Structure 1
């Protein structure tokens, strides 16, 4: 009987050595308070080490990166260098590079493949580059392949800088500073860089003060234009117009006659009496000619008489003929 009572009391934890534990007398409820709940479970993104928390931290860093860059701070993560990033345009090929350097085409680097057969053209290119202070970069042939995007380069390529266009008003200022009668060539829709280069060369040869091109739908000063200009682009400024019609209208308000070269011209080029006056000669593309709004902006349109079997002339050729006619008229007026 006593053993049964002892077992019962041990079950309530009233005796030392009992395997079961319970609240002790005099504890003041300390154990009870420690078992109370600690509030709702935090969300996953708030729990340290949880995948959702790491994902939220990464999103926060990405959002803060642009603000850090704007404030001039260095981003925490480094951006890896991309070996295939694009650089400025290149002129490739031994003949092309030598001709470009002879013509004073600007260059920022001359790339020469390692272990190539250095003939007279390569040696001349290296010599010209050294005289002009253009850095010589010796690279692998595979690197030249990559830089020229698979073009035929013969182990050599010349990097040219981005062209800095003049403002349209600069062309007029150039003529006034030289105390000369302004002559500007404006192009509408001429998209072939070789035509642009040829026109720049003719404009320089016949005393023009600059060439004007639109920002859109027009050839720009690429390597092809530089090469075709045969160095004239280094002497004659090329300006860009955000809106060709407005720029031509601005020239008119400053006293220049705007003459459009068009197959639909109302008079022959030889009859252009105002050729010796301040003049803007506007040339259109070989296929479409002058745009409608541009032609409407012109004070006069003139044509070059050609055989009926020929539809039109190349823009570069037509510009050369027109500039020659203007130069002849100006020379005659000067003699008088």
Structure 2
């Protein structure tokens, strides 16, 4: 596993509890002083069981640590979020005795989109997500909070070149599906067998070079006036169609 370069925070009750239950290295737990919340008490108990320092601080300190996000009375300082390798994603699928099912994100920039995608990926049994190292959002505290803890359970691999990675996936027997205005109706699509789905940038879509590497294109039919969907919504629709088509 590779690590990101900067320390980060886990903000909010659900993400904090997920981090405490996972194997992530937690440096310190900050909770709001004189809090009567049962959820905060449970977090404090679990942290102390693991030998983690717990500090009771005023709300203003938590506001400062979280950059005024909705911290719900708890902030964890953690070691950098760990990134997986593509091999780790294959190994996760093999451990479950399932055909690989991956999501490739081509330049997603909004951390809320990535967090939401992680949350759905966890629910839909995705074995891992692949993102580029440059010109895209990375794993941050905002992503972690939006994912409501899913960041601890869905491995994310960072790669230097998505086009080369897709070529390597295809060499390993993975069928790669992109999204486009013209393509197969996603409702008739089956994700049985080793499969990867590509979701493009919020504004530009999938880059032309990456689109050329896709084996097939899928389209999401729309009949309304706004002929586009939020990237996380489009990703969610595809992930659940993949999940449904596998009959799990």
Q: Report the TM-score when normalising by structure 2.
A: 0.83
Q: Distance in 2 between matches of 1:111 and 1:237?
A: 26
The verdict on how the C-alpha distance between 1:210 and 1:307 changes in structure 2, with shifts beyond 3 A counting, is same
Q: Which residue of 2 aligns with 1:302?
A: 218
Query: Which residue number corresponds to residue 22 of structure 1?
Result: none
Equivalent position of 1:201 in the other structure: 119
Alpha-carbon distance in 2 for matches of 1:236, 1:153:
22
Q: Match of 2:157?
A: 239
SS of 2:206's equivalent in the other structure is coil
Match of 1:254 in 2: 172
Residue 152 of structure 1, CA deviation: 6.7
Residue 285 of structure 1: how far off its partner (Å):
2.5
Q: Deviations over 1:26-72 (max 9, x none)?
A: xxxxxxxxxxxxxxxxxxxxxxxxxxxxxxxxxxxxxxxxxxxxxxx
Determine helix, strand or coil for the equivalent of 2:205. Answer: coil
Q: Is the 8 Å Cα contact of residues 286 and 312 (structure 1) preserved in structure 2?
A: no
Give a deviation string over 1:254-279, Cα, whole Å, max 9, x none: 111110122x2322112334x21211
- Choose from 84, 104, 114 the match for 1:166: 84
For 1:101, which of 16, 36, 58 is the aligned residue? 16
Structure 1 residues without counterparts, runs of 5 or longer: 1-86
Deviation (angstroms), 1:150: 6.0
Could you give the per-residue CA deviations for residues 125-159 of structure 1, whole angstroms, max 9, x where no partner exists? 42342244432135677765654456676875321
Change (3 A) 1:303 1:119: same
Higher-RCO chain (CA-CA 8 Å, sequence separation at least 6): 2
Structure whose alpha-carbon radius of gyration is higher: 1
Q: Secondary structure at the match of 1:312?
A: coil
For 2:199, what is the secondary structure of its paired residue? strand
Partner of 2:184: 267
For residue 198 of structure 2, what is the aligned residue in structure 1?
Answer: 282
Q: Distance in 1 between matches of 2:73 and 2:155?
A: 32
Alignment of 1:1-336 (within 5 A): 88-92=7-11, 96=12, 98-104=13-19, 106=24, 107-112=26-31, 116-120=33-37, 122-138=40-56, 147-149=65-67, 156-262=74-180, 264-273=181-190, 275-331=191-247
More helix per residue? 1
- Structure 1 vs Structure 2 CA RMSD: 2.6
1:134 and 1:307 mapped to 2: Cα distance? 53
Distance 2:58 2:81 in 1: 28
- The range that moved more, 99-108 or 191-200, is 99-108
Structure 2 SS opposite 1:103: helix
Whole-Å separation in 2 of the counterparts to 1:147 and 1:308? 42
Runs (5+) with no aligned partner, structure 2: 1-5
Count of residue pairs brought into register by the alignment: 238
Aligned CA distance change for structure 1 residues 231 and 285 (closer, same or farther; 3 Å): same
Partners of 1:224 and 1:122 lie apart in 2 by 20
> CA distance change for structure 1 residues 154 and 184 in 2, over 3 Å: closer, same or farther?
closer
Point out the structure with the larger strand share: 2
C-alpha deviations, 1:80-107, integer Å up to 9, x for none?
xxxxxxx722245xxx2x2222333643
